[in-house]
């Protein structure tokens, strides 16, 4: 009888340990979908003697965004931000002068604050790599931008738990995005787009 009780106690302890391990192993992944307003800063356009003006700007727009997040611990996570190539209208001197496309994936390391109930804020920082398409589609081919751009990315946001798996998400990111502008293959200046991204969406953790 004593051995049976010991075996029962050992079995209960083992099951409890396995259950705790399973609970810790669950919920490492989160997928979010957002509607994002892309607000270009248009801060600098250095030395661009194109068409009699020195100002090149990109038009603001709404885009869809998907991110995949992996939680290493309950606090630390990595987020990969994805979208499809976005159309960017380019204005020169306030007049639309061409359209390029940009594919701007970002990878961020995040810190998630816990013990705040359903409210789960986070901060993040990482890198953005933007690939430009239709690069020479400015001023009927008279000007073009570089193929790609590297920059820093910063992020703040929060998830609000609707239930165990579903979350409402609000997210703000700053993306350092600049590219050289060339005319006839020669660099004539640099454009700093540096967009702010304001997103709202839902997330599912599993």
Kindly report, residue by residue over 2-49, the tens digit of the pLDDT: 443 443 344 344 444 444 444 444 589 999 999 999 998 766 565 555
Residue with token string 């810190």: 111
Cα atoms in the Cβ-side hemisphere of radius 13 Å centred on 122: 27
- Pairwise CA distance, residues 156 & 72, whole Å: 19
Are 195 and 41 contacting, i.e. CB atoms less than 8 angstroms apart? yes
Total domains present in the chain: 1
The pLDDT value recorded for residue 100 is 81
Residue 61 is part of which domain span? 27-205
In a domain, 71, yes or no: yes
User: Span 89-104, mean pLDDT?
Assistant: 77
Q: Closest by alpha carbon to 21, among 29, 9, 13?
A: 13
E strand or H helix that includes residue 34: strand 29-39
In a domain, 40, yes or no: yes
The pLDDT value recorded for residue 56 is 66
Domain at 165, CATH number:
2.40.160.20
The model's pTM is 0.77
In a domain, 12, yes or no: no
User: Which carries the bigger pLDDT value, residue 11 or residue 161?
Assistant: 161
- The mean predicted confidence, pLDDT, of the chain is 81
In a domain, 10, yes or no: no
Question: Of the ranges 15-29, 48-62, 105-119, which is most confident?
Answer: 105-119
Are 125 and 153 contacting, i.e. CB atoms less than 8 angstroms apart? yes
Using 50, 70 and 90 to split pLDDT, how confident is the model at 59? confident
- Residue 53 in this model has a pLDDT that exceeds 70: no
List, for residues 130-146, the tens digit of each pLDDT value.
998 877 777 677 778 78
First to last CA, the chain: 43
Question: Of the ranges 41-45, 68-72, 114-118, 181-185, which is most confident?
Answer: 68-72
In a domain, 132, yes or no: yes
In a domain, 61, yes or no: yes
The b-or-e profile of 33-56 (16+ CB within 10 A means b, else e) is: ebebebebbbeebeebebeeeeeb
The b-or-e profile of 97-128 (16+ CB within 10 A means b, else e) is: bbebebebebebebebeeeeeeebebebebeb
């Amino acid at each position: 009888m004593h051995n049976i009780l010991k075996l029962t106690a050992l079995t209960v302890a083992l099951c409890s340990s396995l259950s705790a391990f399973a609970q810790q192993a669950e919920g490492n992944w989160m997928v979010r979908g957002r509607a994002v307003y892309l607000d270009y800063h248009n801060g600098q356009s250095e030395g661009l003697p194109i068409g009699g003006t020195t100002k090149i700007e990109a038009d603001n727009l709404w885009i869809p965004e998907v991110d995949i997040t992996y939680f290493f611990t309950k606090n630390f996570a990595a987020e990969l931000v994805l979208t499809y190539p976005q159309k960017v209208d380019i204005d020169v001197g306030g007049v639309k002068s061409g359209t390029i496309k940009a594919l701007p994936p970002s990878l961020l390391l995040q810190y998630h604050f816990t013990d705040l109930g359903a409210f789960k804020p986070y901060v993040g920082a990482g890198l953005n790599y933007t690939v430009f398409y239709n690069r020479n589609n400015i001023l009927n081919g008279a000007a073009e931008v570089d193929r790609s751009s590297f920059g820093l990315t910063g992020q703040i946001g929060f998830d609000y738990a609707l239930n165990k798996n579903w979350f409402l998400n609000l997210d703000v990111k700053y993306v350092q995005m600049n590219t050289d502008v060339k005319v006839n293959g020669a660099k004539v200046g640099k454009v700093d787009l540096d967009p702010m991204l304001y997103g709202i969406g839902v997330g599912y953790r599993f």
